[in-house]
Amino acid sequence: MGNSMLRLRVLFVNCILIIIMTLYCDGDVTEEKYTTNEDISPLEFGTETNIGILKNIESFENLAKFAMKSRRGEFVPIEDTAIYDAMVRILQDLIDSIKDVKNAYTFLNAEGLHRIVADNFLLPHDNVRKNLLLLTKRLFEVTPTTVSFIPENVVDGLLDIFENEKNLALKAHALDVLCLWLPKNPVIQARVMKLKGLEPFYYQVSKLEISVVQTLLDLFNKILKEHISARNEKIQRTKADLDKLRLYQRIGLLERMSTPTVCNGLLNIFEVAWNFNNNEVLITVFEIITDIKQFCNKIYGGNIKAVELFNALLKYVRNEQNIDYLWEQNVNVTNLETVIEEYVNNTKISSKRDEL
């Protein structure tokens, strides 16, 4: 038994070496080298860069298959770093290549996101997953009009990383991709709401660093304004306009905004943001509390945390040392003070009623 295990181990290591050598050689990738029964599509004719992109996609696919030890979902241990290091080199090469928009479309036309990203967020190697996220982000930056055509299971992987990943850097990278993907993309927003709702976003905030909290608040603020605008704008009544409006209505973000779960979840985010004592973060908080007043003001009535927070925010806004800064940031201090006063007065009135 011991000799058999040793022979299997040697065979395994030899296979890894063959794969790595193949990645950077001119020879064709063969079925025999990767012990797979699936045919490998022939490379398309094109420029040298295009051929390099296509070869990288094929090489990564085969490495990913090899990293899967069995169909039961077991992966090659991270201690066997040769495979994962080779994957990282391929991803970094692709990230650099798709800076050019033509190369980015070559990658998309070859279904690179389907073949590389969609099924590999579960690989047990942080550097591989980080570069998968960076590749997706780079693609969205270079070809922003393509975000509506990205496979839906990519967003599933992003949400899983943001919600469950312990590595905070990977959470931040996943959120960066979502910031490029979700705004003005109601189809994907609908999928996020269906799968997760808003809960993962405000449950995760206490685990995030200040810069990531700022990104999260900016994303929420942008999408909230998008939905308010979609409901209020005078549409042309074309079929496309009506279909778009119905999609926003089906997402139901504004309806959810009037629920205690969402309003109190946002209150938790505001409390965390206030404790950071960061002016930039507070600017975004002020924008959001202004927009959600129509939904959440009554819900906050009698909430002790809300009473304390809005009194603290009102004191901040009235502080002479902060007034000039707020005006410089294009914040209408007069209007903001009025909004926060309404919150404060409502919470005080509700508190007295509760006491009676």
Q: What is the DSSP string of 84-131?
A: HHHHHHHHHHHHHHTTSHHHHHHHHHTTHIIIIITT-TT-S-HHHHHH
Q: Give the pLDDT confidence score for residue 192 in this predicted structure.
A: 84
**The pLDDT value given to residue 185:** 86
For the chain, give the percent of residues with pLDDT over 90.
40
Q: How far apart (Å, rounded) are the C-alpha atoms in residues 136 and 95?
A: 9
Looking at residue 26, what is its pLDDT? Answer: 42
Angstrom distances, CA of residue 275 to CA of 2, 97, 252, 309: 59, 42, 31, 10
Across the chain, mean pLDDT equals: 80
Give me the pLDDT at residue 2, please.
47
**Which residues of the chain register pLDDT less than 50?**
2-14, 17-46, 71, 351-356
- pLDDT score, position 124: 86
Number of other CB atoms surrounding residue 78 within 10 Å: 15
> What is residue 290's predicted lDDT score, i.e. its pLDDT?
95
Residue with tokens 């990383």: 161
- Which pLDDT does position 152 carry in this prediction? 75
